[in-house]
Amino acid sequence: MRDPLHWMSVKHKLALAFAGLCLLAFGVGGYLISNSARSALRKQIDARIEFQCHATAGVLDERMRLLGRRTEDFASDGFLRERADALLAASDRERREHLRDELRRHLKLNKLPLVSAFTALTIVGVDGRLLVHASGDGGAVPESIPIPSVTGPGLWHSELLGLEGDGPPRQIVTTPLRSLDGTRTVARLVAWVDPATWIASSLKELGPGPSHASAQESVVIRIRDRLGASVVVPAPGATRDELRFEASHEAAPTSAADGLFTQDLTVPENGWTVHVRMRAVDLFAPVSGLQSRFLAFGAVLAFLCALLLFFPMQFLVRPLVRLREAARQIRNGDYSVRVPTDSADEVGELARSFNHMAEAVDQQTRKLRGAAEELRARQRELRAQHERLDTVIRSLRDGLVVLDADGRPVLANTAAAPLLEVLDDHDVRLSSRYACQSAAAADCTQCLLQPDAAASSCLLDAGSRVLEVHTTQLPPDADGRCGRVLVARDVTDRIEQDEQDIHRERLSVLGEVAAVMAHELNNPLTSIRMFAQMLTDGLAADSPFREHAQVIVRNTETCRHTIGALLGYATASAPEAGPVSVHDVADDVVRFVRPLAERAGVHVGTRFDAASDCVLGDEIQIRQLLVNLVLNAVQAAGDEPMNVTMTTRSDGGAIAVEVADDGPGIPESTQGRIFDAFFSTKPRGEGTGLGLPTARRIAELHGGGIELVESRPGSTVFRVRLRLAPGRVSLESGVA
């Protein structure tokens, strides 16, 4: 069929079609608009009731949490906890009454005024017995308190109470009252809450609600506890006196079809339910007349619009549909499709232009296919080169990282994982292992990652690893920005090997120095010992200075043997064996370290439980072993008072000596290295790191050993095990 309006331009056809569509749209659109208005209003009502419900539940939950926190704050009062504990422990009736009066006065004057919702505070013992009751209005003491368990843990909220009696509605918030040391529950603090006060004050935070009275009256809020009792709020801005309390009942389910909009939400803190209800009759009144008027006028225009749509559909839309189908075929790859042209208007011109375009696309497609094949060949070549380069990079034992101008890694191999972990952790500042050549660089990251920095190399401490990093600059990109190339090698093992070689060299030098020092110190010590011995022989037997001179003699002998022990640390020299009383040596050690211990505020004591204390060994070396352990404990005290105790006990064919202190303990990270030579946790210059290694060597030379039994704040115990002399085995072992 030929288009009767083929002589008319498309713009006139579109104008005619638009006029007809406007007539049709007015009828149908009126219906849609009215429905949309009603739907939008329904959504607004739903949104408002949901907001009202969430806001009410949120405010109630927060205020209930606040009441619980205030109750817990009251229960944390040290005065309440101490007096309640004393009240339970008191046996005198007069004392109990005095404590009750103190508690009652403290609760009434210092606690109840802080929370307006609290009407009374009660303390209940663990046996359920009422201890103290303080009321703000002087009300009667409750006969019973309906809580599930007096000794139960944590905070507990009750349901609404007293709705069926003559008294006002009440609610209970209770929490444990613990002893001052926090190890046991003394009693339970019960806070009596006026629900009308805290609910009204909570809803007051939401505002008065809608401004007009009809909308405000259409909102009803019901707060229902877990047993069905409820508080009815007639309007969002209701005062305390306007609230109604109702006993348990079953609420009938309602919906929008019943003329009501409802929403329920649970308060997380106490499990109560907030029920919000709004009447829909008044809310839908503005759109009810609008819908009927739109529909009446739209029905009249619907018939006329249907007649006007025939010509646009037949002679304008159909050619456009043919163009759409042809375009779909071209999209699917059929470039031979053409559109028939039977009109001289803009639609016919569009069809002819579409045919020319399809022919041009067909020609260009053939050219693009040839170019695409060539590109695929080059892509395969580039992919092969990329795979070879990627294989080479992955096979490198050194870490390789390429950074862009912003310092972000764009390429990295597997070996670069330690360096990438450091770069990803922005809180770690890279520091050079040795003195940096660039004094201006506060952080090695600036040197390594700065785009315009020159090439550099350095050794870096990256956590527990040592990395040798070489960095250089990438050529500028199209924007003139430069990246960086980082090559990292893990040299931790090499550094550790170098440090071990240095340590062995230090031991070698120490042996040589010890030999010279032994010669230089032995002569003065011999003179001191000789004159001290002469002083001892010249003093009377009851002279108070005789013991001092003997201490000088013993300690010069200890120094002489200590120097010999230092020489013997690198040799396999054997101790001078002889019977030694461990208890006598321990008493001597206590006398020796007492001045240092008293100056540091440390008490050193002994406890001897061993049945036999005689060992075969070198008395000076055993004394040196115990002195090292006790001095380490004394020096660990710092400025805090501390106790050090040496304890002996029988251990089969040996005697076990334990040196225990209640100091700060040894950090767990260093406990595995405390017996390493030259390792010390003391400040630089205050320790040589040879005390515990020397003590272990002495214990092993005497057929025993030394171990760290435990170390934590408040308790550090070293145990020394020495073999008993033959024929003096402990009676606990069953050997004579």
pLDDT in tens, 136-182: 776 666 666 766 655 556 788 888 777 666 667 888 888 898 888 88
Q: How many domains does the chain have?
A: 4
352 within domain boundaries: no
Is 522 in the same domain as 607? no
Q: pLDDT band for 425, please (50, 70, 90 cuts).
A: low
Q: How far apart are alpha carbons 225 and 146 in whole angstroms?
A: 15
Residue 161 main-chain phi, psi, to 5 deg: -120, 155
> Residue 344 domain-assigned?
no
Rg (CA), the chain: 47
Provide mean pLDDT across the span 99-111.
89
Residues 581, 659: one domain?
yes
Q: Is the pLDDT of residue 194 over 60?
A: yes
> pTM above 0.75?
no
Q: Considering only CA atoms, which of 696, 697, 698, 678 is closest in space to residue 688?
A: 678
CATH code where residue 222 lies: 3.30.450.20
Question: What is the tens place of the pLDDT at every residue in 235-272?
Answer: 766 777 777 777 765 554 555 444 566 777 787 777 78
* pLDDT tens column, 122-143: 988 887 788 898 887 766 666 6
Q: Does 729 fall in a domain?
A: yes
CA distance 344 to 1: 15
Same domain? 446 vs 553: no
Spell out the residues 6+ positions from residue 395 whose beta carbon is closer than 8 angstroms to its own.
none
pLDDT digits over 220-232, tens only? 787 877 777 778 8
| DSSP calls for 175-208 | EEEE-TTSSSEEEEEEEEE-HHHHHHHHHHTT-S
Same domain, 484 and 604: no
Greatest distance between any 2 Cα atoms in the chain:
150
pLDDT in tens, 681-703: 666 545 566 778 888 888 888 88
Q: Assess if residue 676 is contained within a domain.
A: yes
Residue where a domain terminates, one of 532, 552, 573: 573
Q: What share of the chain is helix, strand, coil (3-state, %, to 5)?
A: 50, 20, 30
Q: How far apart are CA 262 and CA 351, in angstroms?
A: 59
Q: Report CA 520 to chain centroid distance, whole Å.
A: 60
In a domain, 334, yes or no: no
Specify the higher pLDDT residue, 692 or 568. 692
pLDDT surpassing 50 at residue 736: no
Summarize the confidence of residues 45-65 as an average pLDDT.
78
Structure tokens at 89: 């422990």
410/469 same-domain check? yes
Q: Is residue 367 part of a domain?
A: no
- Give the span between the Cα atoms of 79 and 109, in whole angstroms: 13
pLDDT of residue 682: 67
Residues 467 and 512 in one domain: no
619 secondary structure, DSSP code: H
The Cα–Cα gap between 63 and 69 comes to 10
CATH number at residue 713: 3.30.565.10
Residues 230 and 195 in one domain: yes
Q: In degrees, to the nearest 5, what angle opens at C-alpha 660 toward C-alphas 657 and 661? A: 160
Report the distance separating Cα 506 and Cα 528, nearest Å: 31
Bridge-partner residues for 223, per DSSP?
A: 231, 274
Asked if 96 and 112 touch (Cβ cutoff 8 Å), the reply is: no
Do 177 and 46 share a structural domain? Answer: yes
Domain of 410 in residue numbering reads as 396-490
> Residue 679 domain-assigned?
yes
By mean pLDDT, which of 50-59, 131-140, 430-439, 528-537 is the weakest?
Answer: 430-439
Q: In what order do the strands lie in the sheet with 715-723?
A: 602-608, 642-651, 654-661, 715-723, 705-712
Is the domain of 664 the same as that of 676? yes
CATH number, domain of 499, equals 1.10.287
- Indicate if 456 and 520 belong to the same structural domain: no
Position 582 confidence tier, pLDDT thresholds 50, 70, 90:
very high
Instruction: Look at residues 490, 513, 537 and tell me which one is the last residue of a structural domain.
Output: 490
Q: Is residue 325 part of a domain?
A: no
Of 573, 602, 626, the domain-final residue = 573
- Examine the domain organization and report whether 466 and 560 are in the same domain: no
Task: List the structure tokens of 241.
Answer: 């006196």
Does residue 474 sit in the same domain as residue 568? no
Task: For residue 642, give the nearest of 662, 665, 666 by alpha carbon.
Answer: 662
What pLDDT does 256 receive? 47
